Structure 1
């Protein structure tokens, strides 16, 4: 701050640019990260990116019963939900501190998941 209570615009712009760079780096890390979720004791495993994009789905042969496809569908959904929950925790870990620096709760910035 300079005398008279006026904010130093150059300093504010530098801080905003640094926060933007940090946010871009965190988003890149999330896009490159992989997290897994599973269901049925590991019969179905889903892999998603840190941003929540489904990358892989593994289904153990023991999970496949042609007479009971509903259970398999439930296992797939549960595994994907588990993986997405892990991705959300990773997002909070990577982006949470940045959001706090912007005034908390996403700082009103569209695209932040919280």
Structure 2
């Protein structure tokens, strides 16, 4: 039924991959990424899961006559931090997800 290997070995391999995936997800959720905009005038920190954790604004960025520019800088910093978090997630989870996906679409494993 399984040419070139036995079912027990295949299941052990899938279980190990799932454990690796869960560990990588946990590490990702605990990680933080910071990115900035406007030459560092505004920075945003997000978790590896993309949750906004903080925003720092240099007082030089605050111009009461141009609040829209500050809003744009905040938005750009948050988007940049989220993009970095996505890159980190792809680096950590990508290879494991691909391997599990190649084994029957995740084999119905939780979280896959």
RMSD of the alignment, in Å?
A: 2.4
Matches within 5 A, 1:91-110: 91-103=89-101, 107=105
Gaps of 5+ in 2: none
How far apart are residue 71 of structure 1 and its match? 0.6
User: Which residue of 43, 46, 67 corresponds with 1:45?
Assistant: 43
Number of residue-to-residue matches in the alignment: 108
User: Which residue of 46, 62, 67 corresponds with 2:65?
Assistant: 67
The separation in 2 between residues aligned to 1:66 and 1:34, in whole angstroms, is: 31
The separation in 2 between residues aligned to 1:74 and 1:87, in whole angstroms, is: 20
How far apart are residue 44 of structure 1 and its match? 0.3
Q: Which structure would you say has the larger RCO, counting Cα contacts within 8 Å and 6 or more residues apart?
A: 2
How far apart are residue 13 of structure 1 and its match? 1.8
Q: TM-score, normalised by structure 2?
A: 0.84
The 8 Å contact of residues 21 and 97 in structure 2, kept in 1 or not, is answered as no
